[in-house]
């Protein structure tokens, strides 16, 4: 399988000021496999030290002596020796936290040796660390599930992969390709982007095989609950876990999770799941300017789950039911499309310093307004709506454009790419106000190409 992060790793490897790299991400998103793919691609000698298997290395790493550490690693069973083409990979980093401060000395004393680290639940180690972090001497790579384009490549759909990844605003997509992409998008909604599930589907085309993989992954996450925090109630953690999957895109109210538990307790459980990267927050921003994170309302947020396939599995949605939904229902009912767009926006912003997702919410006595996402790309604030149908139904988007005057808005739906000028009337400060703006409509499967809308003027307006 090919992953987009291979390009990042190539840039990292050839950086003259290369630093040790820590790959951060949830369980089973493919961190270890990525490093193996990269080493093979670069024809490098991969030296993998699984720290979970060798916790006795803790005392060696505590010495902060790279020479001594390398000697001990070379002594591990079937370990190749350090050479000019070696890539050192410290896997399951969370098992030996002492290795993290030692990275500083590898950077200073052994800069010629490429060093990559990865681990599950690494955020728990970083949050509870009692050691000196190697600030400025390590680099991070944030990794999530496979994207839709990677899914296409795994299925051997090379031509459709090119349609998606090479799309430019002036391109036209043929109806046959469009319909096939929508069909495969529906399959992705069920399979999701967890590499094991994608591999099972690519090999068997069996949705039952995918369900078996999902169930195994979900059980693995549940088995991790005892590691999330001392004295946490495991049944309550399970309730919060299930709530998060079943309430994607809904503003969080702790009373909706449980009326028996205190808000502070439920908040802590949610934060632990966020640290484990099983879920993530989409926080309300007033969108007063860039960065969007400067005007956050931290207490107002909704949730995204790690992966759309796992989300649907927890919700009990089987393939037969999903396959019978029409496109409009898939977009407008439930959280499937919002989850899909959200996890791809996270992938799109993975290398951004402000990668936390935001949305816009205005709550009033007479009328509420809510935009699914607001992102910053190319120095511009871009409102994003996930909706099908006529522009007249997008009252929240009208309201946002009237108040914030963004250069254009983006709508993801099941239609072909188009640009139109929207004219509407909104109520603002108890006055009727005319608003006119450019609306860029994109099919959901092009969410990875959202960056190209920064040149949206290249679109030809639809008639």
Tens of pLDDT, residues 21-39: 999 999 999 999 999 999 9
Give the model's pLDDT for residue 328.
Answer: 63
Q: Is it the case that residue 462 has pLDDT exceeding 50? A: no
Residues 113 and 258 in one domain: no
Give the model's pLDDT for residue 270.
Answer: 97
- The domain boundary, picked from 142, 176, 198, lies at 142
- The domain boundary, picked from 142, 166, 196, lies at 142
Give percent of the chain with pLDDT exceeding 70: 95
Q: What is the pLDDT of residues 87-117, one digit of tens each?
A: 999 999 999 999 999 999 999 999 999 999 9
If we measure between CA atoms, which residue out of 410, 280, 255 comes closest to residue 343? 280
Residues 311 and 436 in one domain: yes
Please provide residue 111's backbone torsions phi and psi, each rounded to the nearest 5 degrees.
Answer: -65, -20
Give the model's pLDDT for residue 388.
Answer: 52
Please provide residue 271's backbone torsions phi and psi, each rounded to the nearest 5 degrees.
Answer: -65, -35
Residues 131 and 227 in one domain: no
d(CA 243, CA 220) in angstroms, rounded, equals 18
Please provide residue 116's backbone torsions phi and psi, each rounded to the nearest 5 degrees.
Answer: -120, 140
If we measure between CA atoms, which residue out of 150, 249, 222, 153 comes closest to residue 193? 150
Q: Is it the case that residue 188 has pLDDT exceeding 90? A: yes
Q: What is the pLDDT of residues 372-399, one digit of tens each?
A: 999 998 888 999 999 754 555 789 999 9
Residues 114 and 247 in one domain: no
- CATH code, domain carrying 10: 3.40.50.300
Q: Is it the case that residue 457 has pLDDT exceeding 60? A: no
Evaluate whether 198 touches 154 at the Cβ level (below 8 Å): yes
Q: Is it the case that residue 456 has pLDDT exceeding 70? A: no
Q: Is 453 a domain residue? A: yes
Give the other-Cβ count within 10 Å of 244's Cβ: 24
Give the model's pLDDT for residue 39.
Answer: 98
Q: Which residue has the higher pLDDT, 322 or 189?
A: 189
Q: Is 16 a domain residue? A: yes
d(CA 257, CA 419) in angstroms, rounded, equals 41
- The structural domain count of the chain equals 2
Q: Is 73 a domain residue? A: yes
Give the model's pLDDT for residue 145.
Answer: 98
Q: Is 204 a domain residue? A: no
Band of the pLDDT at 129, cuts 50, 70, 90?
A: confident
Q: What is the pLDDT of residues 323-363, one digit of tens each?
A: 887 766 766 556 899 999 999 999 999 988 888 999 999 98
Q: Is it the case that residue 300 has pLDDT exceeding 90? A: yes
Q: Which residue has the higher pLDDT, 270 or 335?
A: 270
Residues 242 and 344 in one domain: yes
Residues 290 and 395 in one domain: yes
- Section 215-228 average pLDDT: 94
- Section 191-213 average pLDDT: 98
Residues 404 and 272 in one domain: yes
Give the model's pLDDT for residue 211.
Answer: 97
Stated length of the chain: 463
Residues 229 and 370 in one domain: yes
Q: Is 14 a domain residue? A: yes
- Section 219-238 average pLDDT: 92
**Please, is 40 exposed, middle or buried when counting C-beta atoms within 10 Å of its C-beta (0-12, 13-18, 19+)?**
exposed
Q: What is the pLDDT of residues 44-79, one digit of tens each?
A: 999 999 999 999 999 999 999 999 999 999 999 999
Q: Is 13 a domain residue? A: yes
d(CA 169, CA 186) in angstroms, rounded, equals 24
Instruction: List Cα–Cα distances, 256 to 207, 250, 266, 308, 362, in angstroms.
Output: 32, 11, 11, 22, 21
Give the model's pLDDT for residue 31.
Answer: 97
d(CA 373, CA 347) in angstroms, rounded, equals 14
Give the model's pLDDT for residue 126.
Answer: 82
Residues 134 and 264 in one domain: no
Residues 340 and 423 in one domain: yes
d(CA 101, CA 64) in angstroms, rounded, equals 8
Give the model's pLDDT for residue 431.
Answer: 84
Evaluate whether 87 touches 39 at the Cβ level (below 8 Å): yes
Domain that holds residue 9: 5-142
Q: Which residue has the tokens 């028996």?
A: 260
Give the model's pLDDT for residue 378.
Answer: 84
Q: Is it the case that residue 458 has pLDDT exceeding 50? A: no
Give the model's pLDDT for residue 277.
Answer: 95
Give the model's pLDDT for residue 379.
Answer: 87
Q: Is 209 a domain residue? A: no
Give the model's pLDDT for residue 331.
Answer: 61
Q: Is it the case that residue 213 has pLDDT exceeding 90? A: yes
Residues 235 and 105 in one domain: no
Give the model's pLDDT for residue 460.
Answer: 44
- The domain boundary, picked from 114, 142, 170, lies at 142
Give percent of the chain with pLDDT exceeding 90: 79
d(CA 98, CA 453) in angstroms, rounded, equals 45
β-pair type (296-305, 358-362): unpaired
Q: Is 187 a domain residue? A: no
- Section 193-222 average pLDDT: 97
Q: Which residue has the higher pLDDT, 156 or 352?
A: 156
Residues 113 and 254 in one domain: no
Query: And the tokens for 183?
Result: 């069909």
Which residues contact residue 340 at a Cβ distance below 8 angstroms, ignoring those fewer than 6 apart? Answer: 148, 185, 188, 189, 308, 444, 447
Give the model's pLDDT for residue 59.
Answer: 96
């Amino acid at each position: 399988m090919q992953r987009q992060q291979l390009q990042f790793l190539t840039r990292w490897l050839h950086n003259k000021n290369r630093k040790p790299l820590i790959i951060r991400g949830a369980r089973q998103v493919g961190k270890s496999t990525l490093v193996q793919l990269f080493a093979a691609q670069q024809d490098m000698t991969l030296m993998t030290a699984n720290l979970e298997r060798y916790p006795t290395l803790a005392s060696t790493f505590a010495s902060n002596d790279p020479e001594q550490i390398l000697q001990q690693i070379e002594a591990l069973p079937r370990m190749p020796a350090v050479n000019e083409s070696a890539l050192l990979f410290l896997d399951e980093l969370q098992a030996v936290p002492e290795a993290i401060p030692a990275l500083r000395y590898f950077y200073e004393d052994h800069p010629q040796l490429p060093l990559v680290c990865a681990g599950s639940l690494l955020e728990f180690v970083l949050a509870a660390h009692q050691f000196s972090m190697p600030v400025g001497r390590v680099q991070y790579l944030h990794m999530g599930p496979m994207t839709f384009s990677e899914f296409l490549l795994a299925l051997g759909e090379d031509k459709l992969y090119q349609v998606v990844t090479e799309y430019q605003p002036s391109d036209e997509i043929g109806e046959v390709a469009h319909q096939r992409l929508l069909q495969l998008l529906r399959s992705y909604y069920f399979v999701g982007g967890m590499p094991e599930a994608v591999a099972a589907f690519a090999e068997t085309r069996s949705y039952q095989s995918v369900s078996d993989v999902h169930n195994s992954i979900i059980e693995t996450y549940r088995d991790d609950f005892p590691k999330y925090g001392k004295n946490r109630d495991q049944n309550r953690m399970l309730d919060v876990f299930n709530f998060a999957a079943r309430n994607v895109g809904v503003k969080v109210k702790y009373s909706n999770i449980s009326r028996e538990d205190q808000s502070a307790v439920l908040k802590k459980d949610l934060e632990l799941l966020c640290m484990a990267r099983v879920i993530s927050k989409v926080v309300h921003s007033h969108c007063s300017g860039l960065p969007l994170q400067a005007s956050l309302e931290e207490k107002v947020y909704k949730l995204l789950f790690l992966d759309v396939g796992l989300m649907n599995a927890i919700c009990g949605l089987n393939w037969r039911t999903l396959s019978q939904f029409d496109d409009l229902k898939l977009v407008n009912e439930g959280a499937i499309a919002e989850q899909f767009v959200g996890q791809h926006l996270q992938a799109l912003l993975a290398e951004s310093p402000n990668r936390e997702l935001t949305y816009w919410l205005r709550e009033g006595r007479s009328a509420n307004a809510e935009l699914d996402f607001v992102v910053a790309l190319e120095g511009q604030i871009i409102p994003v709506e996930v909706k099908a149908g006529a522009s007249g139904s997008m009252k929240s988007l009208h309201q946002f454009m009237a108040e914030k005057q963004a250069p254009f808005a983006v709508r993801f739906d099941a239609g072909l790419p188009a640009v139109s000028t929207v004219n509407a009337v909104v109520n603002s400060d108890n006055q009727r106000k005319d608003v006119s703006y450019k609306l860029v409509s994109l099919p959901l499967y092009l969410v990875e190409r959202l960056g190209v809308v920064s040149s949206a003027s290249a679109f030809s307006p639809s008639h």
